Amino acid sequence: MRQRTIGKITVGAIGLGAMPLSIEGRPDERRAVATVHAALDAGVTLIDTADSYHWHAGERGHNELLLARALRSYGGDTSGVLVATKGGRGRPGDGSWTVTGTPGHLKRAAEASAGRLGVEAIGLYQLHKPDPAVPWAESVGALRDLLDAGTIRAAGISNVTTAEIREAHAILGAGLVSVQNRYSPAVRTGEPELRLSESLGLAFLPWSPLGGVSRSALDGPPGPAGAGTVFHRIAAERGVSPQRIALAWLLARSPAVVPVPGASRPTSVQDSARAAETELSEAELARLEAAPE
């Protein structure tokens, strides 16, 4: 698979968003583990998780524990796999999400995540979302403390503005390696954050990168060339899935981009991984650069 960098670490250009393996509607563990193994077989070496990726109350860290089991049971070499986890959000079990960005909480959360993942130091730890009740500098300062303590090897921030990126970069320096914001065919408002990340040498990890492109096309043949969005039309012309086209388009946006599409089936992650080798023509990119249709 084509490679990209996050800080000093080289990863496959397409990652795996592991959230669907643990939230509402999650697959059974056998299929979840098979999905992770299929990702590794396809050359995926970045797996994105969070301590809040769970379904029911009282199962915090479900996704981290699942990934640890999947990696242990994989028959191949996993030494080059980067598991990126996040802290600062919670799920009380009623479908809602909470935000807690106090330094004490983030430090305890990171230590607990390291324990569930079975690692001495977390390869990449990202602050999941700014807490409006806590000064941003204090939350980011907790990441600095975690870096200094060796609990994490690199830090990232998620769901942030350009001002928050600049402030975090000033506090963390080379310790800050990634920004994880929403960016997709349907949501392109993150362009300023993408360009700032690129200029600062930070990886940009789009979450929900397939927004606006239906997953249903993975389960059947491409539709007629005139159907759906321009992503669907180009996919039909090429005889591939629109998801693959969407991810290839994201990779073409910037060398800083490493998409982390979610998956809950081996076939889904295998298709996503093929986007790393899908080269779009200048004419196709020009069509895709237009506003979503």
Give the C-alpha distances (Å, rounded to integers) separating 268 from 73, 173, 229, 280: 21, 36, 20, 20
Rounded to the nearest 5°, which phi and psi values hold at 208? Answer: 50, 50
**Burial class of residue 278 (count of CB atoms within 10 Å of its CB; 0-12, 13-18, 19+):** middle
Cα–Cα dist 134/104, whole Å:
12
Active site residue 74: no
Q: Which residues pair with 155 in a beta bridge?
A: 125, 176
| Maximal CA-CA distance, the chain | 56
Q: Which residues pair with 10 in a beta bridge?
A: 5
Give me the catalytic one of 53, 74, 125, 183. Answer: 53
Active-site residues, by number, are 53
